[in-house]
Amino acid sequence: MDPLWLAQSKYRRRKYQECVEICTENLHRNPYDESFWYLKCRALTAIDWLDDIELDDDTLGDQLLDENAIAQMPRPGTSMNRPATGMSTAAGQLRTRTGRPVSSTGRPVSGFARPTSSALRQGTSLERALGTAGGRRMMTARPVTGSGRYVRLGTASMLEHCGDSFIDSDKIDIRKYAKKPGLARALGDYMLYVDHNPKRALELCSHSTKLTDYRDWWWKERLGKCYYQLGMFRDAEKQFLSSQKNCCTVLATLDLCKVYMKMDQPLKALEAFEKSLEKHKHSISLILGMSRCHDSVNNIEEALTLYKQVVQLEPSNVEALACLANDHFYNDQPEIALRYYRRLLQMGVNNAEIWNNVALCCFYSSQYDMTIHCFEKALALAVDEGMADVWYNVGHIAIAIGDIGLAYQAFKIAVSVDANHAESYNNLGVLELKRGSFEQARSNFQVAERIAPHLHEPKYNSALIAFDAGDYEESVEMANNSLEAFPEHEDSKDLLQQLDKILSLL
């Protein structure tokens, strides 16, 4: 049998490693065999392939050296840095803030964790970047480094024995390859996805674009990708737009919108999505992208209608289902949320988070017997970070059924699992206050505040304590802090009014 045929067959059957072995062996014999070179190139790319559309972490370097300065005070609803400004009505805003827990940037937590959702965008200063790296949850404290961005964990170490030795992109003659259309595309992908050398890929792309008379959408799209990886967003945008003009592909649209999101222009992204949707009416990728975009500027209503559209097109879309369930839960419809979560469970999603959510839904829809079992299951499946959240929820349930002792223990465990679980510290503080240990409570609130400056609860609680102790000055300060974190917090406002009265009496 011809080894080339076998290698190709292996490639078809997704046995890339074996394919690479066959190719390597034959290339050893004849290093100039283009067919084997091409196949090996593609197989290596397939091994290291990573859907970079979905991936967008700000690396530490990016955060440190980001100089794409955009308006410091964006107009309402135009920036992801100040999502709270996005809501059209104050009532809507209130709903989102009081109902849902918020992430550290003030956006409501979405029902589905994607790699992007952990990216922090606030501020660009050095202190901020380093602060977030160290100050966040212990397990995720490792900042993303430059090289790690497009490398899958685990494959990073394998790079040298399969990647580097094959093609040295810094040494090959780019012009020569650009003239061979059969090889050029595979080489381009290899340089982007295996070698992570956007600079050389950029050269190849620009030569090839020139050779194809600036009419090939694919080369332009890859050119944009290279620019994106190099951090030149405006150039990337230009390329993606031009690619779309040649042929309106879903891929280029997604890329383009990613650039817009990176540049913090969600409205621009939405516009691009809409334009592309006219051509690709029922494209789920586009609709999902749009709803994420709406989500990121706190426009929950819009996002939900889009998620519903997605579910109609693809009833088994996990992301859409999870987001819908999440919304129902925070809208006081735990029974409906429970149905969604049960559906997800039956579909085969089986992790700690989902059991945790099922348990909470059960609890709030008064199916107490199920709650404990679900939590047990969640704890059995939970690892590291998730564990703290599960215990935190157990603590909540315990408070709700009046078992303060259990609640105390649960929060203690949550804190022991994840020393940076601010919410648990806050609740521990409240429990300590109930027990009467004043100092303990105060230190708990202080810890919570230090870990998570975005939470208003510990600040408000500190204010209350100070008020009770008669330290009005501090109380005013803390209440103001709390209002800073959450401008619509009624209780803080009340407290401030009360303080005003007292202070004016003095």
Partner 1 sequence: MSLFRTKDWWRASVAGEEGEETECDGLAFCAANLDNDPSGSLKLAVGTLGGILRVYAPREPETTGADPQQGPSSHANSEDSIIEVQLEHPILQLEAGYFSPDYDTCLAVLHPRLLRVYALHKSGSAQDLQEVTLQKLYEHKLERSAANMCSGPFGRASTDLDTTECDAICVQSLDGQLSIFEQSSFAFSRFLGNFVVPGPLRYCKGLDMFFTVNSSYEVECYKYQTLTSATLSDNSKKDESSLKALGENNSFKHGKKLEANWRFVLGEGCVDIQCSRFTRGLKKAWTDDVIILGERTLFVLSSEGECKLQKRLEYPPTCLAVYPSKLGEQGAACNIMVATSTGYLMVYDSERLIWSARHDMVPVSVKVLTFGDLGGLVTTLDDKGALAVSYMGTDPPTQVVSIAGEEQLNFEEMESEHRQLLNVIRQHATQKPSEPVDILMLRAQIPQYMKALGEGEYGGSRGGYDLEDELGGRHSKAVVGKIFLNYSGISDITDVSISVDVPEPIVAEAEPSHISCIKGGSSGRQTPIVIQLKLFPGTHCLPSDRTLNVSASYQTPSGEPRISHCEVQLPLCLFGTLVSPVKNATYKLTLDTNKDAPQLVNVFEDIFASCQDNYFEMNSNVNVMSFKYFSGEIVTTIVSKNAGRYRIQSDCNGAMWLILQELKERLAAYYAAADQEGGEGLQISLSDNVPLEILFECIDKHFNSVEYVNKLHSDLELHGRRFRAVQKRFLVRFKDRRPEPLSHLEALLDDTYDNIIDCCVRIDETTADMMDRARDIVHNCHLFLSLLQCQFNLTEKQIHFLKKFLNPQVEHSQGGFIWEEYTEAALSYLLKAHLSKSQKDTISFGGVSKMTSTAKLKKLISTMVERFSRGITLRLPS
Q: Which is nearer to partner 1, 186 or 303 (CB)?
A: 186
Distance, CA of 123 to CA of 125 (rounded, Å): 6
| Stretch binding partner 1 (CB under 8 A), from 82-90, 329-337, 368-376, 386-394 | 368-376
Work out which of 280, 396, 454, 493 binds partner 1, going by CB under 8 A: 280
Question: Does 134 participate in binding partner 1 (rule CB under 8 A)?
Answer: no
Q: Which is nearer to partner 1, 87 or 232 (CB)?
A: 232
Question: Does 278 participate in binding partner 1 (rule CB under 8 A)?
Answer: no
Work out which of 9, 116, 140, 333 binds partner 1, going by CB under 8 A: 9
- Residues 53-84 as b or e (16 or more Cβ within 10 Å = b): eeebbbbbbbbeebeeeeeeebeebbbbbbbb
Work out which of 120, 138, 263, 313 binds partner 1, going by CB under 8 A: 313
Q: Which is nearer to partner 1, 197 or 249 (CB)?
A: 249
Question: Does 172 participate in binding partner 1 (rule CB under 8 A)?
Answer: no
Q: What angle do CA 196, 168, 150 make, to 5 degrees?
A: 10
| CB of residue 350 to partner 1, shortest distance in Å | 8
| Stretch binding partner 1 (CB under 8 A), from 24-32, 277-285, 290-298, 387-395 | 277-285
Three-class secondary structure assignment of 293-342: HHHHCCCHHHHHHHHHHHHHHCCCCHHHHHHHHHHHHHCCCHHHHHHHHH
Q: Which is nearer to partner 1, 159 or 284 (CB)?
A: 284
Q: Name the residue type at position 293.
A: C
Q: Which is nearer to partner 1, 300 or 321 (CB)?
A: 321
How many C-beta atoms lie closer than 10 Å to residue 169's C-beta?
21
Question: Does 1 participate in binding partner 1 (rule CB under 8 A)?
Answer: yes
Query: What are the DSSP calls for 150-164, one per residue?
Result: SS-TTTTTTHIIIII
454: exposed, middle or buried (Cβ count in 10 Å: 0-12, 13-18, 19+): middle
Let me know how long the chain is: 506
Q: Which is nearer to partner 1, 42 or 97 (CB)?
A: 42
Q: Which is nearer to partner 1, 474 or 488 (CB)?
A: 474
Answer for the pair 104, 120: CB distance below 8 angstroms, yes or no: yes
User: At how many degrees (to 10) do helices 16-29 and 34-48 cross?
Assistant: 150
| CB of residue 175 to partner 1, shortest distance in Å | 17
Answer for the pair 214, 197: CB distance below 8 angstroms, yes or no: no
From residue 231 to residue 260, what is the string marking binding to partner 1 with x (rule CB under 8 A)? ----------------x-xxx--x------
Q: Which is nearer to partner 1, 2 or 160 (CB)?
A: 2
Work out which of 370, 381, 419, 502 binds partner 1, going by CB under 8 A: 370
Question: Does 345 participate in binding partner 1 (rule CB under 8 A)?
Answer: yes
| Tokens at 219, concatenated | 């080369």
| Tokens at 471, concatenated | 């330290």
| Stretch binding partner 1 (CB under 8 A), from 74-82, 87-95, 266-274, 282-290 | 282-290
Answer for the pair 460, 482: CB distance below 8 angstroms, yes or no: yes
Q: Which is nearer to partner 1, 302 or 314 (CB)?
A: 314
Residues in contact with partner 1, counted by CB under 8 A, come to a total of: 59
Q: Which is nearer to partner 1, 203 or 314 (CB)?
A: 314
Work out which of 118, 122, 155, 285 binds partner 1, going by CB under 8 A: 285
Distance, CA of 72 to CA of 497 (rounded, Å): 32
Q: Name the residue type at position 472.
A: Y
Residue entry with tokens 């009505």: 89
Give, as ranges, the residues between 13 and 52 that touch partner 1 (CB under 8 A).
13-14, 34-35, 38-39, 42, 46, 51
| CB of residue 86 to partner 1, shortest distance in Å | 28
Work out which of 50, 64, 318, 404 binds partner 1, going by CB under 8 A: 318
Give, as ranges, the residues between 50 and 109 that touch partner 1 (CB under 8 A).
51
| CB of residue 62 to partner 1, shortest distance in Å | 15
Strand partners, 108: 102
Question: Does 2 participate in binding partner 1 (rule CB under 8 A)?
Answer: yes
Question: Does 217 participate in binding partner 1 (rule CB under 8 A)?
Answer: yes
Query: What are the DSSP calls for 402-452, one per residue?
Result: T-HHHHHHHHHHHHHH-TT-HHHHHHHHHHHHHHT-HHHHHHHHHHHHHH-
Distance, CA of 433 to CA of 436 (rounded, Å): 5
| CB of residue 100 to partner 1, shortest distance in Å | 25
Q: Which is nearer to partner 1, 193 or 460 (CB)?
A: 193
Ramachandran area for residue 385 (φ above 0: left; ψ -120 to 50: alpha; else beta): alpha
The residue among 194, 213, 251 whose CA lies nearest residue 40 is 194
Work out which of 85, 242, 283, 498 binds partner 1, going by CB under 8 A: 283
Interface with partner 1 (CB under 8 A): 1-2, 4-6, 8-9, 12-14, 34-35, 38-39, 42, 46, 51, 181-186, 216-218, 221, 247, 249-251, 254, 280-285, 313-316, 318, 343-350, 370, 373-374, 376-377, 405, 409, 471
